[in-house]
Amino acid sequence: MIYSVKATCAARALFSLLVFFIVTSYNIEARSGAPRWWSLAMVPPDGVLNVKSITCNSIPGLVPKQHRYCSRKIELMPSIARGIKLGIDQCKYQLKNRRWNCSTLPLRRSRPNRKKGVFGPVLETASPEAAFVHSIAAAGVAHAVARACAEGSLTSCGCDKRSRVEKGNWRWRGCNEDVEFGIKVSREFADARDQGNDGRAIMNRHNNEAGRMVLRDKMQLKCKCHGLSGSCELRTCWWALPDFNEVGKKLKRMYLDASEMKVKHHQEARGIVASLVPKFQEFPPPQETDLVFFNKSLNFCNKNPRLGIEGTKGRLCNATSSGVDGCDLLCCGRGYNTAQKTRIESCRCVFEWCCDVECEQCVTPYEEHTCK
């Protein structure tokens, strides 16, 4: 009797433990900041992203919907991976002089850091940084997919034929890069993990969409002239994707201007549902095209291994700048070290008839400042 009661208790305990693990591991994937599948983009410099190098089972952190998508549309996966890389590289470029410079974890051997994701725990906080990275990654996926379509390397898409209107002496002969198809793929794949009704899922979906809308907005009409000696009697025009730097520049401005929200819970028939409302009532509610966040930025000044923050110690800074790249701000008031360095430059160049330029090599001194 006693024995059987004990056994039931043990079984119950085991069962609850199991449920606990399933629930928490699900939550970790569903809630954590940066999706682990982004590690798809982290190939070593000599690595390649093609259908042969990607298998759906080897991508970490896919939710079932993404796994099915991957199996059905494997030919899109290399472009999705390239899109994430495009986004992350652009993030690094845009934030290179800031306290948080979009740093990613080092590649371990040839495998990316699969457990912690590309960024580590930094983006688990619903911060402006998380908003920026999500928006730029979602835009990157749409861009890379649309580009691959126009290059003719995919069977499921090509040039966009919808916007081929002929007007006056215009001819739509070029290949319209199909941004709508890219946007659709980005929505279906990149948003799949964030289908929940918690604040973070809503935030991620919103920022992903804001990134894609910037890309759509920046599509440009390109034309080529034909006709006698460049008279432009006839023009061939097509819609072209913007240079991704343009998208990055705009998203960075939106990041610096992102709207702070708070999470509000209310009861609905389907259960407790969250929504994001402006934290400060005196500000107008954000537009669809604004980035939103609900946790302040972390303190990126000091090293914090638990949060995966490197701190700014040792970063190069500009002693004469009063901006974010200046030593005052970047070093968070700790001061900086100055090292005397030299570099070899070409100098005293003379033009030799004809047609050579002869230079001397000069040793030029300069100062290098790093944060204490």
Ligand X SMILES: *[C@@H]1O[C@H](CO)[C@@H](O)[C@H](O)[C@H]1NC(C)=O
* Interface residue list for ligand X (CB under 6 A): 96, 101, 103, 125-126, 262-263, 294-295, 310, 312, 315, 318, 320-321
Least Å from the CB of residue 309 to ligand X: 8
Closest CB to ligand X among residues 166, 368:
368
Nearest to 320 by CA among 338, 301, 341: 338
Closest CB to ligand X among residues 212, 315:
315
Closest CB to ligand X among residues 97, 236:
97
Closest CB to ligand X among residues 319, 347:
319
Least Å from the CB of residue 204 to ligand X: 14
Tell me the CB-side half-sphere exposure of residue 142, using CA atoms within 13 A.
33
Closest CB to ligand X among residues 96, 162:
96
- Alpha carbon separation from 125 to 46, 106, 121, 258, 287 (Å, rounded): 33, 21, 8, 15, 22
Least Å from the CB of residue 247 to ligand X: 20
Q: Contact 292/206 with Cβ under 8 angstroms? A: yes
Least Å from the CB of residue 91 to ligand X: 11
Cα gap 107→224, rounded to integer Å: 44
Closest CB to ligand X among residues 201, 263:
263
What are the tokens at 104?
A: 């990613």
Least Å from the CB of residue 101 to ligand X: 4
Alpha helices in 151-243 (DSSP H): 179-185, 199-217
What are the tokens at 180?
A: 């709508």
Closest CB to ligand X among residues 43, 105:
105
Least Å from the CB of residue 304 to ligand X: 12
Q: How does DSSP classify residue 262?
A: E
Q: Token match 């569903």: residue?
A: 30
For the chain, percent helix, then strand, then coil, each to nearest 5? Answer: 40, 20, 35
Least Å from the CB of residue 248 to ligand X: 15
Helix (H) or strand (E) holding 150: helix 128-150
- Alpha carbon separation from 241 to 128, 142, 215, 244, 353 (Å, rounded): 26, 10, 8, 8, 45
